[in-house]
């Protein structure tokens, strides 16, 4: 006898939308497939296979690991959600009547697990075993006992058979890819660009120039407004940016002495990798699995091979006391300097005081982005791959993005015997959010045929609307179309037309009213109706 267990999620990946939040949850559904087949025999008929299913325990497990030469090995369990799917006692399963079939008898034990909305996306970096990773798995533990194959029906002996038969356990581990998207998908056409976020920038105190530079009271009157997209597609090649400048409450004479010569832009990706003991800030913000479920108290379901060597003492912990590793990479192409020089009249603030309200001097640009990063500054033992990643926050690994802006100004000093000009650079950092954009839903006109089912006679179906393009469940009619409020199936009182051979005139009968089904059959061929019907099951 053969018993095979498989975990089959409804979708290939678990998709989460929006910002990570401990107040939100998503659903992961599917079924545990249990297949039973009788042993093949050349000289005897195949016997009925019977088992007593005692337990189906399903666990959704999330883990994060760091393995580097500088930090050593650091494992962490993010979450562990366990459900018992057999809640009403043991169940007898048999393939009676299917012993001689080529296909095994199958049972599907369905599940629907709530998944926390704060979990970071699945990811790995650095080729090979070194680096960091976040993984998720579904683990199914099926416990059963083999019943007496000679018994053909349930009897008192089957109650005691588990005590005579050795209990058996089958464990199955199924990887689950968790993806995060900045927003839920929509079927509306994307006609407008991503909304922009405005940042009113003020130079920090440490960036105020010294006495030999532009006077501090002049710099403090300069207002800088930076506008960046609310989120940037991680696959995008350009980043729109708008810079606005003006002065506030600066005398007219001072405005005429002030010039803007250039501004410098850089888009930076910063990666941080840390040990578990340095992840306390994240653990206080999100409900990490308790200490009883953390290694070594409870081992990870899919520990890295190098991690096992660390635990066995084959690899020694690094002597370094480094708490984390950091790498900062520029996302500008190698051919781009990021310097934008102003030409012509650079006295952009000259007329600020002559108007009732100072107007913004606006500069708009589109910054090119490369996906082949070159590291600027990094830890000497950094082992991460240089690639653009979505912005993320997790216990052991973070990715942040920022737009580094520097505005260069010059000021003609008054009351000097020589034409003395002083300069200063105002530096700012604007946070950016890089993320994945969910693929759009199919247009609504693909589903229009499904919406007409209420107006069709019973048995007539609209043509199939490319099932491969439809989202999960979109090919099914809504519940109210098939059942009433009491749960009973709706019945169409319109009788079907009498049968007539192909090419013959349908019989006429006053008692049998002509239905629109004939027209529907002409418009919707028979094979199309079957195709949609099979998709809807």
What residue numbers bound the domain in which 515 lies?
Answer: 444-536
Quick check: helix, strand or coil at residue 158? Answer: helix
- Distance, CA of 480 to CA of 490 (rounded, Å): 9
User: What was the pLDDT predicted at 177?
Assistant: 95
Instruction: Say if residue 342 is in the same domain as residue 414.
Output: yes
On whether residue 136 sits in a domain, the answer given is: yes
On whether residue 309 sits in a domain, the answer given is: no
- What total number of domains does the chain contain? 3
In sequence order, what are the residues at sequence separation of 6 or more whose Cβ sits closer than 8 angstroms to the Cβ of residue 499? none
pLDDT in tens, 262-281: 999 999 999 888 888 878 88
23-27, 83-87, 203-207: lowest mean pLDDT where?
203-207
Residue 494 has pLDDT above 90, yes or no: no
Instruction: Say if residue 161 is in the same domain as residue 248.
Output: no
On whether residue 241 sits in a domain, the answer given is: yes
On whether residue 316 sits in a domain, the answer given is: no
Q: Which residues of 120-155 are buried (b: 16+ CB within 10 A; e: fewer)?
A: bbbbebbeeeebbbbbbbbbbbbbbbbbeeeeeeee
Instruction: Say if residue 381 is in the same domain as residue 494.
Output: no
Instruction: Say if residue 503 is in the same domain as residue 409.
Output: no
CATH number of the domain at 254, please. Answer: 2.60.40
Of 409, 435, 461, the residue that ends a domain is 435
On whether residue 190 sits in a domain, the answer given is: no
Adjacent-strand bridge partners of 62: 79, 136
Instruction: Say if residue 420 is in the same domain as residue 350.
Output: yes
Instruction: Say if residue 32 is in the same domain as residue 171.
Output: yes
User: What was the pLDDT predicted at 444?
Assistant: 58
On whether residue 305 sits in a domain, the answer given is: no
Instruction: Say if residue 79 is in the same domain as residue 18.
Output: yes
Of 380, 410, 435, the residue that ends a domain is 435
Cβ(134)–Cβ(122) below 8 Å: yes
pTM: 0.74
Instruction: Say if residue 84 is in the same domain as residue 172.
Output: yes
Instruction: Say if residue 395 is in the same domain as residue 515.
Output: no
Instruction: Say if residue 428 is in the same domain as residue 497.
Output: no
| Sole residue written with tokens 């007496």 | 148
Q: Based on C-alpha coordinates, what's the Rg of the chain?
A: 34
- Distance, CA of 502 to CA of 64 (rounded, Å): 66
Q: Greater confidence, 307 or 516?
A: 307
pLDDT in tens, 369-412: 998 876 555 555 666 667 889 999 999 989 999 999 999 999 88
pLDDT in tens, 504-524: 776 665 444 333 333 333 333
Q: How many CB atoms lie within 10 A of CB 411?
A: 19
On whether residue 188 sits in a domain, the answer given is: no
User: What was the pLDDT predicted at 515?
Assistant: 35
On whether residue 93 sits in a domain, the answer given is: yes
Instruction: Say if residue 347 is in the same domain as residue 417.
Output: yes
Instruction: Say if residue 203 is in the same domain as residue 64.
Output: no
CATH number of the domain at 164, please. Answer: 2.60.40.640
99-103, 312-316, 448-452, 477-481: lowest mean pLDDT where?
448-452
- Distance, CA of 253 to CA of 358 (rounded, Å): 15
Q: How confident is the model at residue 344 (pLDDT cuts 50, 70, 90)?
A: confident
């Amino acid at each position: 006898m053969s018993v095979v267990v498989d975990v089959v999620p409804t979708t290939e990946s678990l998709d989460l939308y929006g910002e990570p939040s401990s107040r939100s949850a998503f659903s992961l559904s599917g079924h545990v497939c249990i297949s039973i087949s009788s042993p093949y025999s050349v000289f005897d008929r195949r016997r009925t296979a019977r088992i007593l299913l005692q337990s189906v325990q399903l666990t959704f497990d999330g883990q994060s690991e760091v393995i580097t030469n500088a930090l050593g090995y650091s494992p962490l369990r993010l979450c562990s959600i366990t459900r018992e799917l057999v809640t009403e006692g043991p169940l007898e399963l048999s393939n009676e009547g299917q012993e001689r079939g080529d296909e095994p008898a199958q049972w599907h034990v369905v599940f629907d697990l709530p998944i926390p909305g704060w979990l970071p996306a699945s990811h790995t970096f650095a080729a090979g075993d070194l680096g960091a990773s976040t993984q998720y798995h579904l683990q199914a533990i099926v416990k059963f006992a083999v019943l007496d194959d000679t018994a053909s029906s349930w009897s008192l002996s089957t109650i005691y058979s588990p005590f005579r038969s050795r209990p058996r356990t089958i464990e199955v581990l199924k990887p689950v890819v968790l993806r995060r998207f900045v927003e839920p998908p929509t079927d509306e056409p994307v006609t407008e660009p991503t909304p922009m976020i405005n940042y009113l920038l003020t130079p920090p105190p440490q960036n105020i120039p010294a006495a030999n530079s532009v006077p501090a009271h002049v710099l403090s009157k300069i207002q800088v407004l930076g506008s960046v997209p609310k989120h940037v597609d991680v696959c995008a090649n350009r980043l729109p940016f708008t810079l606005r400048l003006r002065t506030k409450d600066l005398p007219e004479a001072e405005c005429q002495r002030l010039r803007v010569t250039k501004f410098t832009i850089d888009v930076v990706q910063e990666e941080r990798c840390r040990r578990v003991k340095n992840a306390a800030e994240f653990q206080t913000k999100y409900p990490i699995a308790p200490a009883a479920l953390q290694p070594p108290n409870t081992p990870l379901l899919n520990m890295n091979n190098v991690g096992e060597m660390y635990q066995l003492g084959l690899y020694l912990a690094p002597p370094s006391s480094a708490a984390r590793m950091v790498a900062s990479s520029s996302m500008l192409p190698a051919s781009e300097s990021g310097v934008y020089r102003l030409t012509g009249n650079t006295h952009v603030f000259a007329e600020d005081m002559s108007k009732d309200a100072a107007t913004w001097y606006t500069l708009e640009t589109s910054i090119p982005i490369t996906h082949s990063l070159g590291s600027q500054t990094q830890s000497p033992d950094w082992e991460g791959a240089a690639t653009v990643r979505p912005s993320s926050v997790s216990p052991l690994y973070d990715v942040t993005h920022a737009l580094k802006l520097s505005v260069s100004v010059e000021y003609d000093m008054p009351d000097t015997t020589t034409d003395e000009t002083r300069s200063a650079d105002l530096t700012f950092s604007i946070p950016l959010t890089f993320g994945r954009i969910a693929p759009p839903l199919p247009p609504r006109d693909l589903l229009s045929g499904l919406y007409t089912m209420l107006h069709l006679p019973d048995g007539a179906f609209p043509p199939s609307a490319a099932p491969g393009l439809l989202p999960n469940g979109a090919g099914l009619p809504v519940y109210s179309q098939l059942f009433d409020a009491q749960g009973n199936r709706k019945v169409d009182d319109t009788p079907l037309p009498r049968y007539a051979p192909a090419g013959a005139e349908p019989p006429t009968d006053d008692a049998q009213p002509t239905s629109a089904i004939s027209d529907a059959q002409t418009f919707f061929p028979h094979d199309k109706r079957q195709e949609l019907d099979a998709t809807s099951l």
